[in-house]
Structure 1
Amino acid sequence: MTSTAPAPRLRADAQRNRERIIAGAAALIGERGPEVPMEDIAQRAGVGVGTLYRRFPDRHSLIREVAADMFRRVTEVAAAALDEEPTGWDAVVRLVRHCAEPDLGALSGALRGWLSEHRDRDEELRSLTAIWLERFETAVERAQAEGAMRTDIGGADLLRLISLVTCRMPELPAEANREATARYIEIFIDGLAAQGR
């Protein structure tokens, strides 16, 4: 089981390097998958390979932190949507659009296999996933209770469908993929609305 003891606080420059490494790794994993070379990640992050390995001694520790960071961020977005949007339907729409953002969709898809292999053995990742799903499901339940969203679909169904809508088509250039995803997600949102809404 992975330890959840808090890491020691880093100096400001070390923290910036760590954040750059995670962001660079997330971008490259989304583009090329979890097996992208560590040297390429260091180059994307603008740090030396030695700096990368001081922060993350192996590929597993880096991918794990990229996954944890992804869940922390979507959980924060879910909390904000629930707090700030006037209705459950507005919260669902905000979350669906966020989940369909191309970089997040690509990263989530690229990490799917890795997470299915490692998440159950990692207490923090299990907890982060559970919190994210709970908040997403709360938005769905609110929208359905308002009569705004069809009731024959749950939060887990919705997330699976989003992953299908946001799949990249390798035969299309990046911009065409972005435009297609944006168009399809709006059609998808229309299909979630309750009849007569």
Structure 2
Amino acid sequence: MALATDPRPRRADALRNRERVIRAAAAVFAEKGMEAGIPEIAERAGVGKATVYRSFPSKEHLVAAVAAERLDWITTLATQALAEEDAGAAFEHVILAIAERQAGDCAVAGSLAADIHLPELDAARATAHASLDALVDRARLAGALRDDAGAEDLRVLFTGVAHVLRSSREHDPSVWGRYGELIVNALRAR
């Protein structure tokens, strides 16, 4: 989901620069988290800071554009999992995929937890939450998750784990995967 910051049509070179900035920001945020600065992103994109600000009026708008892309990935992953026959296995697959991606991409967790409220990002966040809610509900109704397990439990557990692992600069996918498994086991029906 690309965030619209200006309703006017853009020139082809401006669109290319915007995409370069988003790709660079995604890479920098993945490495360093959402705290990375515009100068570093501009340098990685091969453009000046003014070019970044022509497409994104503030760093918040750029963070939102990257976050919305990450949330779209989560939505797609969860939505595809809803079509799988085994609801419990589908739930586990999604949680482990998200956990393992976070090992090398600090922007995934930041996308879910970012305290930025722009309409496009709020919409992407709501859609991702709805797809995860549906995944949790389906797994619970199939008997794979505890009767009292809900999507909010998943968000709290995931946010807590992600906060601790990001704070300790943990990038090992097996560590993130282990904590993803612990989250799945905490919610699994006994």
TM-score range, shorter chain: 0.7 to 0.9
Partners of 1:89 and 1:149 within 8 A in 2? yes
Task: Output one character per residue of 1:65-114: Cα deviation in whole Å (capped at 9) or x when no partner.
Answer: 2222222222222222223x22322331122123212257622444567x
Given the two structures, how large is their TM-score scaled by the length of structure 1?
0.75
Distance change >3 Å, CA 171–CA 47, structure 1 → 2 = same
Partner secondary structure for residue 147 of structure 1: coil
| Residue 183 (structure 1) aligned to one of 178, 183, 186 | 178
Q: Which amino acid is 1:18 matched to?
A: R
Q: What's the C-alpha RMSD, in Å, of the aligned pairs?
A: 3.1
How far does residue 28 in structure 1 lie from its aligned partner after superposition?
2.5
Partners of 2:104 and 2:173 within 8 A in 1? no
Distance change >3 Å, CA 63–CA 110, structure 1 → 2 = same
Q: Which amino acid is 2:157 matched to?
A: L
Q: Which amino acid is 1:97 matched to?
A: L
Q: Which amino acid is 1:32 matched to?
A: K
Distance change >3 Å, CA 170–CA 127, structure 1 → 2 = closer
CA distance in 2, matches of 1:8, 1:79: 33
Q: Which runs of 5+ in 2 are unaligned?
A: none
Q: Which amino acid is 2:40 matched to?
A: D
User: Would you say 1:164 and 2:173 are equivalent positions?
Assistant: no
Q: Which amino acid is 1:26 matched to?
A: A
Partners of 2:21 and 2:45 within 8 A in 1? yes
Distance change >3 Å, CA 155–CA 36, structure 1 → 2 = same
Task: Output one character per residue of 1:15-41: Cα deviation in whole Å (capped at 9) or x when no partner.
Answer: 443233223223323443444221101
CA distance in 2, matches of 1:70, 1:33: 13
| Match in the other structure for 1:123 | 119
How far does residue 12 in structure 1 lie from its aligned partner after superposition?
5.8
User: Would you say 1:71 and 2:71 are equivalent positions?
Assistant: yes
Q: Which runs of 5+ in 1 are unaligned?
A: none
User: Would you say 1:106 and 2:106 are equivalent positions?
Assistant: yes
Q: Which amino acid is 1:181 matched to?
A: W
| Match in the other structure for 2:22 | 22
CA distance in 1, matches of 2:121, 2:169: 33
Distance change >3 Å, CA 13–CA 82, structure 1 → 2 = farther
Partner secondary structure for residue 168 of structure 1: helix
How far does residue 155 in structure 1 lie from its aligned partner after superposition?
0.7
Given the two structures, how large is their TM-score scaled by the length of structure 2?
0.77
- The number of residues matched between the two structures is 186
Partners of 1:99 and 1:162 within 8 A in 2? no
User: Would you say 1:138 and 2:134 are equivalent positions?
Assistant: yes
User: Would you say 1:155 and 2:151 are equivalent positions?
Assistant: yes
The percent identity for this pair of structures is 32
